[in-house]
Amino acid sequence: MLRGILALLILNFTTEYLISQVEPVIFSIDGKPVGVSEFEYIYNKNNGKEANYSKASLDEYLNLYIKFKLKVQAAKDMKLDTIPALIKELDGYRQQLTTNYLNDKEVVDKLAREVYERQKVDLKISHILISTNNSNIPSDTLTAYNKAMEVYKNLQATKDFQATAKKYSEDKNTAQQGGALGWFTAMLPDGFYNLENAIYSLKVGEYTLPIRTRIGYQIVQLNSMRNARRKMEVAHILIRKSLKGKIDEIARMRADSLYNAIKSGSSFEELARLFSNDNTTNMTGGNIGYISIGQLESNFEDAAFSIPADGEISKPIETNIGWHIIKRLKKEEEIPYERAKRKIQSDINRDSRFKQAQSSLIEKIKMEAGYKENQLALDRMAMKLDSTYFTYKWIAPENIGTEPVATLAKSSINAQEFLDYLKSNPRQRVQGAEDKNIKLSLKNLLGDFVSQKCLQYEENRLEDKYPDFKALMREYREGILLFEATKNVVWDRASDDTVGLKLFYKKNKMNYIWDDRIVVHTINIDTSNEKLVNKIYKTIQKKGINKAIDKYDSKKQFISYQKNTIEKKNEEAYTGLKFEKGFTTALSKDPATNSFYFKRVEDLLPKTNKTIDEARGFIIADYQEYLESIWINDLKNKYKVEINQETLSKLVKK
């Protein structure tokens, strides 16, 4: 017991000594130091442009950060960092964060720059497809490849891409149009990166060799290039066609009429709400959202991207479904690479081309960790396996041994560990069945296994390699602890402690006061009989709403009202009203319903205390603040806080 306590004391002392040797300590809580780099990082991050390093600014933020660290220390003492749900939540944040680090950043930046440059142009392409029917069986893909090469030879001989596509392409949707696919821009969908590389290297009129993609082998021709259209936010008014020719002409005439009305000053949005036959967009003024190339009919797209400026409209354009008047709302323009990079890199992380960056990182890790492969051990392992290895029925041999088949850093991958990996990945084994080459299969699968090991190795040392990763993980960890501790000590108690809340309310009752108020009736008279409405209006002015209902609408069929209480300080809420009992607004007519409405001040209410129920939200918020202040005082008494004034003073810049 004594030995354990002594060891713990030595460990704590050593940790504190090492931190203090690496960098200056700005403050400590019960001897646990906080380095100046941690404080500067969080000060800069949370203050942004306001981080001017003035003494006042530093003192203020140091006080806040000490309170934060006191709460975190309290959370640790409450053992909140051992709760499984919180550990799982932190692991989830870590997994999200590691994705950005488990790749070669130089390669990712190169790929992002490549996409950025490619997105400056649109390419119009056609293709000839020889399908593999989603098969990965080598014999099937070889058959498709041989057929694609025969088609390519025919194309070279005839030089007629359209005719060749019509004759050989297995894409039934495009073959009869000579393989025309339309306009595209980077990034192409996942699984078509090889194709993207090929078409962006072509000149107009040129075509590629057969390229393997996820749908088969494709021969692609570049037909045309243009400056990128990018994206555009548009709205439209749609007048649908009918199957009858005469009605179609009427649709065109109606579209022309609406176009002329807009040109004469009518509101596009209002006409869209009233007349557009697109029920999914008419109530929002016809707003479709952002469109990009290849999403809609070419007539619509060409017309939209031909509109010269935001706010302008097209002439009526015909498509398969009807006539459209299009309004350009906002055109996406090219932005500098540094601003575009983050979005592009996010897209790359979800694309198969991301494997390039990861593969590059894995090779770097292997070099740093001194990776070595034991080919002789792999050969000896292969000799112990039979042909059932390439089937799902394979039974792995027992006692394969612990001979290392590879080493990474100071760890070795032994034969038994690799064998366990082979057993748990039957699909990868079976894929090599065509060649029946066990040695080659073991070498390839060891490569996959080692790649996983490399990424695990790298992930385990992210905190040591990347200070920003370490800082973010500390933020996540301490943020989770702070939230949970505050929830337990402050928020839940403020909500559940009814006795404490009532006592707090009694002591601070004068903080919860209603300002002068008026009681307002918003009265609606649902009839088009103006003479009757005027009689009701005058009666309400003289005798009030109840007398008018009794006299004119005893069955309560067309006179209704809504009661609201409005504070004097809430000026916007009583615009057009006076703080005067009996004040009545002018009679107004609603053109949509032909009903009449007005407002009347029924009563004046003086300043008075709010009840606990009326002020509950404000009382709970103030009670939480009160409980937190008590908690902070208790923590300051419980834990010893020491500030290194010399270190703090060195940070002051003005």
Q: 231-331 with 513-609: one CATH topology?
A: yes
Instruction: Name the CATH code of domain 121-227 (choices 3.10.50.40, 3.40.50.720, 3.40.50.360, 3.40.50.2300).
Output: 3.10.50.40
Band of the pLDDT at 174, cuts 50, 70, 90? very high
pLDDT at 21 over 50: no
Domain boundaries defined on the chain: 121-227, 231-331, 369-462, 513-609
What confidence score (pLDDT) does residue 245 get? 47
Ramachandran category for residue 105: left, alpha or beta (phi over 0 → left; psi -120 to 50 → alpha): alpha
Fold type of domain 513-609: Chitinase A; domain 3 (3.10.50)
Q: At what angle do helices 55-77 and 616-638 cross, to 10 degrees?
A: 90
Ramachandran category for residue 576: left, alpha or beta (phi over 0 → left; psi -120 to 50 → alpha): left
Band of the pLDDT at 17, cuts 50, 70, 90? very low
Asked if residue 202 lies in contact with residue 285, where contact means CB atoms within 8 angstroms, the answer is no
The torsion defined by the Cα of 145, 150, 152 and 158, in degrees rounded to 10, comes to -170
Residue 52 DSSP SS3: coil
What confidence score (pLDDT) does residue 10 get? 32
- Mean pLDDT for the stretch of residues 207-234: 93
What confidence score (pLDDT) does residue 2 get? 30
DSSP string, 55-106: HHHHHHHHHHHHHHHHHHHHHHHTTGGG-HHHHHHHHHHHHHHHTTTSS-HH
What confidence score (pLDDT) does residue 6 get? 31
Q: Which of 289, 304, 302, 290 is nearest to 183 (CA)?
A: 302
pLDDT in tens, 215-225: 899 999 999 99
pLDDT at 135 over 70: no
What confidence score (pLDDT) does residue 3 get? 35
- Mean pLDDT for the stretch of residues 605-633: 93
145 vs 149: CA distance, rounded Å: 6
- Mean pLDDT for the stretch of residues 252-270: 91
What confidence score (pLDDT) does residue 259 get? 93
- Mean pLDDT for the stretch of residues 330-352: 88
pLDDT in tens, 63-74: 999 999 999 999
* CA triple 271-277-280, angle to 5 deg: 95
For 231-331, give the CATH class: alpha beta
- Mean pLDDT for the stretch of residues 36-46: 92
**DSSP letter at 488?**
I
What confidence score (pLDDT) does residue 521 get? 93
CB atoms within 10 A of CB 440: 12
User: Which amino acid makes up residue 47?
Assistant: N
- Mean pLDDT for the stretch of residues 221-250: 85
Band of the pLDDT at 4, cuts 50, 70, 90? very low
Of residues 593 and 151, more confidently modeled = 151
pTM: 0.59
